[in-house]
Amino acid sequence: IGLGWLTMTDVHSTYLGSILGPMLVFGLGMGMQFVSLTLMAVSGVAPREAGAASGVLNATQQVGGSLGLSILVTMFGTASRHEATDQVPRFLEQATPAQLLEFRRTGELPPPWGNEVLAAGVSSAFVVAACFAVFAALVALLVIQVRASDLARLQGGATPGETVPGALAPDGTEPEPAVREAADDTPRPPPEQ
């Protein structure tokens, strides 16, 4: 929702009116999504493999973030260049001699023409990001299958990978009972050697 809202960014957008609200919605959604994703990723993993599963998840997020950012920056650059080809002739028709001299020296369009270029690039990048988010939501809804037994493992204080009485193992059989350490400070004898 936040990304969709950010696609409406234009030259008249203000921080309070057009940026703060979508960023708050975006941040709230990402916060809830990352916790749920982590729980789902390690819910069916044996306790001894939970660290590896978490590491794979984090590595995948890092690669996906880097790849996604590079795609969005490419989209921003492409849309900005396309908009610049429309704005340069308008600028040349309306520019003062001082603006023309500065443009020849720097190659940068001054406001309001440069603002139009920037807004077009930002808006296009957010459109692509919103499309990625919709695609990810569809994959999550249609591809990822979470069983009730997977959710039961995470209720009542169970830890990821731990079995819960009554929950079936991934192969449909009754799992071994979970072994939990007592949560008190009672001293324990050292293990036998």
Q: Which of 14-28, 143-157, 174-188 is most confident?
A: 14-28
The range of the structural domain enclosing residue 25 comes to 2-43+57-153
* pTM for the full predicted model: 0.67
Residue 191 resides in a domain: no
Residue 146 falls inside a structural domain: yes
What does R_g of the chain's alpha carbons equal in angstroms?
26
Task: Compute the average pLDDT of residues 17-38.
Answer: 88
The amino acid at residue 31 is G
- DSSP for 66-126, please give it: HHHHHHHHHHHHHHHHHHHHHHHHHHHHH--HHHHHHHHHH--PPTTHHHHHHHHHHHHHH
pLDDT band at 91, cuts 50/70/90?
A: very high
Any domain includes 159: no
pLDDT of residue 128: 95
173 domain residue, yes or no: no
Residue 136 identity: A
Exposed, middle or buried by CB within 10 Å (0-12, 13-18, 19+), for 181? Answer: exposed
Number of domains composing the chain: 1
Ramachandran sector of residue 43 (left: φ over 0; alpha: ψ -120 to 50; beta: rest): alpha
Tell me, yes or no, whether 31 lies in a domain.
yes
